[in-house]
Structure formats: structure tokens, C-alpha cells
Amino acid sequence: MINTQYIALSELKVNESGIIRDYRSKGPVPYRLRELGLVRGTRVLVKRFAPFEDPIELAVRGYSLSLRKEDAAHILVSRL
């Protein structure tokens, strides 16, 4: 269920964190992200943006992950 209060992960600002609520799409990208630990209920922190604002560096489950904004846009989070 997509709640209207949820925002795309790509909308979080630096040093903001959120809880993953859902994915907007199905397919190999969300699947791989979930395998890497980004399942519903997981807390993520936006550490920084690369020099041209893309990709994003996330802290999740104790490690750092880089993903492009276009992929982050498919992840819905609730801001913490």
C-alpha cells in the first residue's frame, strides 16, 4: 500500500534518514537492492551526494552504498 506521506528516497537531504516503506516498481533493480539489505523496515541515512548531485551515498546496515538518483527514486521512505 502506498501511503501519500511517503517520499522518494532521492528526496532526502544530506544527513537525513528514513525507513524504507516500499518500492514503486518491480524487477531486478529493487530485487538486488533488497538483497543488499534495503528491505521494508530498514533504516537508511543519506551520507552525501557526489560532486554533480548524483549518485547518492547511503549508510545502511553498517556499510556504504552508492546508487543513482533514478534508482533511489523508486524507493519510498518515511522521513525520520
Partner 1 sequence: MSTRQLKIALLGNPNSGKTSIFNALTGLRYTTANYPGVTVEKKTGYLAVEGAKEKIAVLDLPGTYSLVPRSLDEEIVHDILLGFRLDTETPDLLVIVMDATNLERNLYLAIQVLETGLPAIFVLNMWDLAKSNGITIDLKKLESWTGAACVATAASKNQGIRELKHLINKRLKDLSTTPHKPIPALQIPAVLEQEVSEVGKLLEPVLTNRKEAARGEALRLIGDIGMSSPFYRVETVSAKLRKQVVECRKRLDAAGIEWDVVENECRYRQIETICRDVVHFQTSEKFTVSERMDQILTHRVWGLLFFMAIMGVIFQSIFTWAEFPMKALESAIKNLGSFTGGILPAGQLNSLVVDGMIAGVGNVVVFLPQIFLLFFFIALLEDFGYMARAAFVLDRIMKKVGLNGKAFLPLLSSFACAVPGVMATRTIENRSDRLATILVAPLMSCSARLPVYALMIGAFIPAGRFYGVFSYKAVTLFSLYFLSLLTGLGMAALFRRTLLKGNQTPFIFELPPYRLPNIKSVLRTMWDRGKEFIYRAGTIIFFISVILWFLASYPKDPAVEKNYQAQRQQLSVTLTGDALKTELANLERTVSGDRLKISFAGRLGQAIEPVIEPLGFNWKIGIGLIASFAAREVLVSTLAIVYNIGQDADEKNVDLISALQAEKDPVTGKPAYSPLVAISLMVFFVLACQCMSTLAIVRRETNTWGWPLFMFTYMTILAWVGSFLVYQGGRLLGF
Task: Report the greatest alpha carbon distance in the chain.
Answer: 35
Site string for partner 1, 32-71 (x = CB under 8 A): xxxxxx-xx-x----xxxxxxxxx-x---xxxxxxxx--x
Residue 26 C-beta: closest distance to partner 1, Å: 6
Comparing CB distances to partner 1, the nearer of 68 and 79 is 68
Report the amino acid identity of residue 65: L
Site string for partner 1, 1-20 (x = CB under 8 A): --------------------
C-alpha 7/C-alpha 76 separation (Å) is: 5
C-alpha 5/C-alpha 49 separation (Å) is: 24
How many residues of this chain bind partner 1 (CB under 8 A)? 33
